[in-house]
Structure 1
């Protein structure tokens, strides 16, 4: 398990988010690309809500881990990077159907990047996060929770790139 590789993947993912999100103008950001889809702004807001929630988990109550700290990473990656599978967001991180400000969203993503970097560099990633139990997965170690953030972000970055193409 390598913190440098984790940090690099997180940085590349968040840079991708900033670049693609910045490519939208304000009107495009809030335009529904096709029926049943979220706008680019809603996707970004969902990501921000979910990932800031995970920051609370990462900085919350912790416990000892009695299994490999990266045990669930391969499953998380497989689940979230399978773009053929449609997923449902939990209600508490559903974005409102409103107009979003691109500058605020980009700023939130940059803030998120900084806070994730801090956790990666300064925390014991082998500890189990006890503040929130993920449906299906159970409790994550910090290592797994950070990779959840990375792969969840990559999943939605793919979605954002598809919207940007249209």
Structure 2
């Protein structure tokens, strides 16, 4: 399981960084269409989420008294379903400030690398007690890491759509 998660984190990180490189410093802060975040805002949202996940999986834990992967399938079904529109919790909503592409890329890579280290070195069955997922409660490390993958993959899809839209606007 650890090797699979580490491999998936590596692949997701590479996909995210490649996708962010579809943007340049000028268009990363451009709103592509009405009611959309900019590419930079999506990246900041992902960064806030990954940073929170990393903090949670390196924080306090307790022994798990259920299947440690119990919620992984459900998390994947929800976050990888692009037909479901979601509302972000306030604490990970991005600011309206201009974003620096290079800084976003560096910070996102560092967060994903940190999660990958935890995935390879810590007890993934432990339940994290620092923050509870709305509607699911306390999640295990394997569930939080899976969430971070699914959530990031969801927003990679969104970033690709934004980049394509911006490309057609300037073509």
Interval containing the TM-score (normalised by the shorter chain): over 0.9
TM-score when normalising by structure 1: 0.97
| CA-atom RMSD in angstroms | 0.7
- Count of equivalent residues: 165
Unmatched tracts of structure 2, length 5 or more:
166-171
How far the C-alpha of 1:47 sits from its partner, in A, is 0.4
Residue 169 of structure 2 aligns with which residue?
none
Distance (whole Å) between structure 2 residues aligned to residue 159 and residue 141 of structure 1:
27
Residue 30 of structure 1 aligns with which residue?
29
How far the C-alpha of 1:136 sits from its partner, in A, is 1.0
* Secondary structure class of the residue paired with 1:47: helix
TM-score when normalising by structure 2: 0.94
The ranges of structure 1 where at least 4 consecutive aligned residues each deviate by more than 4 angstroms after the TM superposition are none
> Contact 2:50/2:112 (CA < 8 Å) preserved in 1?
no
How far the C-alpha of 1:113 sits from its partner, in A, is 2.1
In the alignment, does 2:57 pair up with 1:58?
Answer: yes
1:134-153 aligned at under 5 Å gives the runs 134-153=133-152
Distance (whole Å) between structure 1 residues aligned to residue 50 and residue 112 of structure 2:
10
How far the C-alpha of 1:144 sits from its partner, in A, is 0.3
Distance (whole Å) between structure 2 residues aligned to residue 133 and residue 109 of structure 1:
23
Residue 12 of structure 2 aligns with which residue?
13
